[in-house]
């Protein structure tokens, strides 16, 4: 589950990580009030207005702007709230902005230059250990840095038995070229950041940029925070931070029905049990010249109610031209699934207007085929994987 920047920063701050301070606002009036309050607390008259959407690259898309007085705060906040922000990480339609973060300007001039760094915390699946990944090239797209100057990306792996050790935090500060106060600040920053990551059950922290201010403070200017979904049951406080407006409406609805559904761009709807078989089915559809419209794992109990729920979810996508049902009857018997399909189909009346190809394999597959074939419904059955693919191809062409 992803958090908004303002939520991520609050989380970091609660663990003692220094952040660029800010207040979230839902409209231009609230933005002005937020700016006034920040000026009282921080002394600065300049503010950055930052679109709060679940996508990076907001700066490039015009979603991060500097305001030098309260009039500018009001105009800029008014422009950003309600816009469809297009960034390199959104679709061409962009993402609707519902709120902005009004933050203190931290790029003020001073005794030294400001510098931007990149710091992330994530799991290295290869070694099974958390690591801190960091770079001197902050503020840029990290993918570009990885491609063009990979020697400027460093990693620090953490032994779970000891946690992040002081010498490791110092090595981070050293590799980032810091000295004096900024060096000390950076060791404190990464130590607190790592603690926050572990204690909040997060699966990703990406802080880009981490800023060294002109007076040598180290702080998080941006925060991408993802909480491990599997930990949300024990993190009710964090689960409440979920913003459903940022997620695909169909995916949210499918989730409520207990279906594992991912919306895709193609024209063939898929209903499959098991994630691996679902992936293989998507490959097969592509080979047959189609494009999967979704990934859908109905799970172990493919009864009539579940199949019907799955049909309804798949058919919400107007691009769907055919549905391929591919079920392996291991624990669940194929004839029960077949009965589920027939019942669901009948229940839905004429809601189903696209051809359906069903492939049931496993326990009682022959009885299942018989059931489908004698149902009198517009459903084609197949036993072999390839046969199903050929039938999909036939209905598409």
**Among 120, 135, 191, 208, which residue sits at the site for Mn ion (rule: CB under 5 A)?**
208
- Angstrom distance (rounded) from CA 285 to CA 12: 44
Q: Which member of 137, 156, 206, 308 is catalytic?
A: 206
Q: Does 362 bind ligand GDP (CB under 6 A)?
A: no
Q: Which of 8, 22, 209, 340 binds ligand GDP (CB under 6 A)?
A: 209
User: Nearer Cβ to ligand GDP, position 72 or 343?
Assistant: 72
| Token pair listed for 144 | 């570009």
Measured at the CA of 196, the angle between CA 221 and CA 11, to 5 degrees, comes to 55
Is residue 6 part of the annotated active site? The answer reads no
Instruction: Clarify whether 118 is annotated catalytic.
Output: yes
* Per-residue tokens: 205: 């922290």
- Which residue number is nearest to Mn ion in terms of Cβ? 222
Distance CA 157, CA 164 (A): 8
Residue 222 binds to ligand GDP (criterion: CB under 6 A): yes
Query: Which has the closest alpha carbon to 298: 271, 323, 325?
Result: 271
Which of 154, 123, 124 is closest to 137 using CA atoms? 154
Report the 10 Å Cβ neighbour count for 136: 17
Say whether residue 64 binds ligand GDP (CB under 6 A). yes
Task: Please pick, from the candidates 10, 59, 204, 243, the single residue that binds ligand GDP as defined by CB under 6 A.
Answer: 59
- Choosing among Mn ion, ligand GDP, none, which partner's interface includes residue 337 (Cβ < 5 to 8 Å by kind)? none
Nearer to Mn ion, 208 or 213 (CB): 208
CB 52 within 8 A of CB 6: yes
Stretch that binds ligand GDP, among 48-56, 249-257, 262-270, 341-349 (CB under 6 A): 48-56
Q: Is 94 a binder of ligand GDP (CB under 6 A)?
A: no
Bond from prior residue into 298 cis (ω within 30 degrees of 0): no
For the bound state, the minimum distance from the C-beta of residue 387 to Mn ion, rounded and expressed in Å, comes to: 50
* DSSP structure string for 98-143: --EEEEE------SS--EEEEEEEEEETTTTEEEEEEES-TTS-HH
Closer to ligand GDP at the Cβ: 59 or 362? 59
Number of residues that bind Mn ion (CB under 5 A): 2
Please state the closest distance from residue 224 (CB atom) to Mn ion, in A. 7
Q: Is 57 in the site for ligand GDP (CB under 6 A)?
A: yes
Nearer to ligand GDP (CB atom), residue 64 or residue 344: 64
Contact 372, 379 (CB under 8 A): yes
Is the Cβ of residue 208 or residue 380 nearer to ligand GDP in the bound state?
Answer: 208
Among candidate residues 149, 154, 131, the one with its CA nearest the CA of residue 205: 131
* Between 185 and 222, CB nearer to Mn ion: 222
Strand positions, DSSP E, the chain: 22-25, 47-51, 64-67, 84-85, 95-96, 100-104, 115-124, 129-135, 153-157, 202-212, 218-220, 224-227, 260-263, 268-272, 294-297, 322-329, 356-362, 379-382
6, 118, 194, 345: the active-site residue: 118
> Which residues, in sequence order, are bridge partners of residue 379?
356
* Interacting partner of 48 out of ligand GDP, Mn ion, none (Cβ under 5 to 8 A depending on kind): ligand GDP
What number of chain residues touch ligand GDP (CB under 6 A)?
17
What is the number of other CB atoms lying within 10 angstroms of the CB of residue 120?
21
- Site residues for ligand GDP, 101-140, by CB under 6 A, read 103, 105-107, 139
Contact positions vs Mn ion (CB under 5 A): 208, 222
Contact positions vs ligand GDP (CB under 6 A): 48, 50, 56-59, 64, 66, 103, 105-107, 139, 208-209, 221-222
Residues noted as catalytic: 118, 206
């Amino acid at each position: 589950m992803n958090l908004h920047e303002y939520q991520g920063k609050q989380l970091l701050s609660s663990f003692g990580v220094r952040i660029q301070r800010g207040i979230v606002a839902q409209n231009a009036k609230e933005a002005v009030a937020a700016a006034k309050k920040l000026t009282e607390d921080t002394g600065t008259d300049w503010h950055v207005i930052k679109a709060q959407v679940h996508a990076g690259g907001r700066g490039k898309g015009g979603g991060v702007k500097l305001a030098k007085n309260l009039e500018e705060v009001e105009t800029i906040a008014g422009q950003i709230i309600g816009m469809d922000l297009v960034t390199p990480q959104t679709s061409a339609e962009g993402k609707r902005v519902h709120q902005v973060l009004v933050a203190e300007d931290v790029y003020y001039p001073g005794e030294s230059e400001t510098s931007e760094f990149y710091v992330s915390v994530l799991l290295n699946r290869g070694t099974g250990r958390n690591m801190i990944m960091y770079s001197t090239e902050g503020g840029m797209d990290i993918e570009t840095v990885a491609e063009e100057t990979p020697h400027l990306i460093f990693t620090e792996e953490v032994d779970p038995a000891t946690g992040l050790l002081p010498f490791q935090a110092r090595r981070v500060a050293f590799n980032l070229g810091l000295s004096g106060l900024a060096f000390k600040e950076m060791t404190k920053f990464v130590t607190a950041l790592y603690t926050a990551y572990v204690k909040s059950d997060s699966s990703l922290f990406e802080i880009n940029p981490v800023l060294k201010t002109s007076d040598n403070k180290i702080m998080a200017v941006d925060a991408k925070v993802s909480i491990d979904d599997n930990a949300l049951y024990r993190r009710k406080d964090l689960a409440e931070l979920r913003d459903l407006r940022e997620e695909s409406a169909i995916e949210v609805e499918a989730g409520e029905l207990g279906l594992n559904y991912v919306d895709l761009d193609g024209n063939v709807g898929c209903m499959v049990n098991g994630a691996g078989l679902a992936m293989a089915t998507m490959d097969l559809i592509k080979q047959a010249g189609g494009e999967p419209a979704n990934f859908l794992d109905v799970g172990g109990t493919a009864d009539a109610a579940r199949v019907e729920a799955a049909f309804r979810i798949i058919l919400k996508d107007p691009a769907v031209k055919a549905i391929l049902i591919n079920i392996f009857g291991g624990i669940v018997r194929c004839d029960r699934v077949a009965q589920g399909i027939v019942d669901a189909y009948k229940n839905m009346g004429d809601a189903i207007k696209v051809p359906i190809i069903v492939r049931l394999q496993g326990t009682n597959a022959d009885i299942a085929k018989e059931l489908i074939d004698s149902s009198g419904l517009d459903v084609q059955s197949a036993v072999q994987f390839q046969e199903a693919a050929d039938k999909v191809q036939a209905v598409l062409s």
